DNA sequence: TAGATTGTTAATCGATTAACAATC
DNA sequence: TAGATTGTTAATCGATTAACAATC
């Protein structure tokens, strides 16, 4: 196959494939089949083959997929084969925690700037980065070619920060604040709010004190 | 309607509804229609009505939904109308950040214990909680009736921590480590790994240096 | 009564899975 | 050649949306 419009579900699985492939690569395993991948990632092998086939013929019949080659291909599809700079807005505890993940992101994606509107925080160090005031955001985004913004500010400030990021020309946002952001459709937004995650988990708890109609 | 088996997509929307309803309630807005909800949450009104109808007839034709009543109902569906204690494993930066969200979780869900395997960290305070050693986990989980575990340890330790949590009788896990956990099917696991989130975002960046076949 | 909005059925759309010819 | 595994089509399954009678 080749292109068509790719669904978000497919795109979200690619980083998961990549992560496991990197793991195989570290262990110097040269080849992997869709069946092995499916087993480890808890996915249907046909789904994995189909996902990959959207982007090209990466496998070899009878053999499977060459690990380093597939890594290269997925990195290219995800645009991780070019430097992607990321700005972090909100230098609180969560922002601080995320800034430590630069090592994890390795590849070419990197948090290169941190901003906060709280005056006393400006100028302090967060790992190797110095917290900048919000009014430097637009300039820094332009200078460093920053393309993705991470929002880790309190919920009341999140929309305002999103507006500023978009105004500065950012292309995508990862939003940790528990609000739905209003954004133009060209700007991709992913919600990363752990409180809704946790609340939806509660649904799956076995029945507690309250009696309920249906078990699971 | 009433019951049937509810899809995960539906369950994941419920906390989003709840969050917005709480907001309306704070602003003392007494009634809301599926259309208004849909507008604010970027969802189809029919989908919202259908989601809610799985659990009961909560609305009034011609009127809409009573905000406090619907809040009560959704809280009940999500089991947030009973105390749910949560354990946090991993007292690093991320764990520290999450422990601040107790206020956000308000309701009845609460992080009540923090564990870490790193000896020097044991005994230190994280907000109001004292970091406990891993070998106290099973006991504390039992004593406090903890039902959900949050994993914020490095990826190599995550599976081991998951095993310990499950062994102690935990019912659900929110996993921040970038690995796929092997768990029995009765234990619900949600992945909250922000690195895969960020990598999938990169896919949606406008074309960069590399030429590409299809724009967006 | 006229207007609004639900709950629900039917239609549509999209995603997952099964099956298999091609081929290494 | 026999066994393995891909890429892809067709079948299935599930989720979203449209439409509308019921009714406030």
pLDDT by position in tens, chain B (length 216): 444 689 999 999 999 999 999 999 999 999 999 999 999 999 999 999 999 999 999 999 999 999 999 999 999 999 999 999 999 999 999 999 999 887 677 768 999 999 999 999 999 999 899 999 999 999 999 999 999 999 999 999 999 999 999 999 999 999 999 999 999 999 999 999 999 999 999 999 987 544 344 433
> Looking at residue B134, what is its pLDDT?
98
The CATH number of domain B84-198 is 2.20.25.10: no
The answer to whether the CB atoms of B172 and A147 lie below 8 A apart is: no
- Do the Cβ atoms of B12 and A196 come closer than 8 Å? yes
- Nearest nucleotide from residue B45 CA, by C1' atom: D17
Q: By the 8 A CB rule, do B56 and B13 touch? A: no
Question: Do A153 and A179 meet the contact criterion of CB atoms below 8 Å apart?
Answer: no
Cβ-contact A19, A83 below 8 angstroms: no
CB contact under 8 A, A79 and B41: no
How do the domains of chain A map onto residue ranges?
8-77, 84-198
The predicted pLDDT at position A211 comes to: 39
Residue B195 CB neighbour total at 10 angstroms: 19
pLDDT reported for residue A208 = 58
Using a CB-CB cut-off of 8 Å, the residues of chain B touching A213 are 2-3
Q: What architecture does CATH give domain B8-77?
A: Orthogonal Bundle (1.10)
A92 among annotated binding-site residues: yes
**The token pair that represents B15 in the structure block:** 């906390």
**pLDDT value of residue B102:** 77
B109 and A198: CB-CB below 8 Å? yes
What confidence score (pLDDT) does residue B213 get? 40
The DSSP secondary-structure symbol of B119 reads G
Q: Are A189 and B200 in contact (CB under 8 A)?
A: no
Whole-number pLDDT of residue A80? 95
In this prediction, residue A180 carries a pLDDT of 93
Strand D within 7 A of A140 CB = no
Low-confidence ranges of chain A (pLDDT < 70): 1-4, 103, 107, 208-216
| CA to C1' distance (Å), from A62 to D1 | 15
**Per-residue pLDDT tens over the stretch A146-169:** 999 999 999 999 999 999 999 999
pLDDT for A143: 97
In terms of DSSP bridges, do strands A59-60 and A31-32 run parallel, antiparallel, or are they unpaired?
unpaired
Least CB–CB distance from B172: residue in A2, A92, A204: A204
Residue B153 has, within 13 A of its CA and on its CB side, a CA count of 23
**CATH topology agreement for domains B8-77 and B84-198:** no
Which residue's CA is nearest to the C1' of nucleotide D23?
B61
């Amino acid at each position: 196959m080749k292109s068509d419009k790719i669904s978000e579900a497919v795109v979200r699985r690619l980083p998961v494939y990549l992560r496991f492939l990197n793991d195989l690569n570290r262990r110097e395993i040269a080849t992997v089949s869709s069946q092995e991948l499916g087993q480890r990632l808890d996915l249907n092998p046909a789904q994995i083959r189909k996902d990959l086939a959207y982007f090209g013929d990466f496998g070899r019949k009878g053999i499977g997929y060459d690990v380093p080659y597939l890594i290269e291909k997925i990195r290219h599809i995800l645009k991780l084969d070019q430097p992607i700079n990321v700005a972090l807005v909100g230098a609180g505890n969560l922002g601080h925690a995320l800034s430590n993940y630069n090592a994890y992101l390795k590849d070419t994606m990197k948090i290169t700037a941190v901003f906060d509107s709280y005056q006393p925080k400006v100028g302090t160090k967060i790992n190797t980065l110095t917290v900048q005031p919000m009014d430097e955001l637009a300039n820094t985004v332009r200078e460093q070619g920053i393309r993705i913004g991470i929002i880790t500010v309190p919920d009341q400030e999140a929309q305002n920060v999103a507006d500023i990021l978009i105004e500065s020309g950012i292309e995508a946002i990862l939003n940790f604040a528990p609000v739905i952001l209003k954004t133009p459709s060209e700007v991709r937004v992913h919600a990363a709010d752990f409180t809704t995650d946790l609340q939806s988990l509660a649904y799956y708890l076995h029945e507690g004190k309250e009696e309920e109609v249906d078990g699971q």
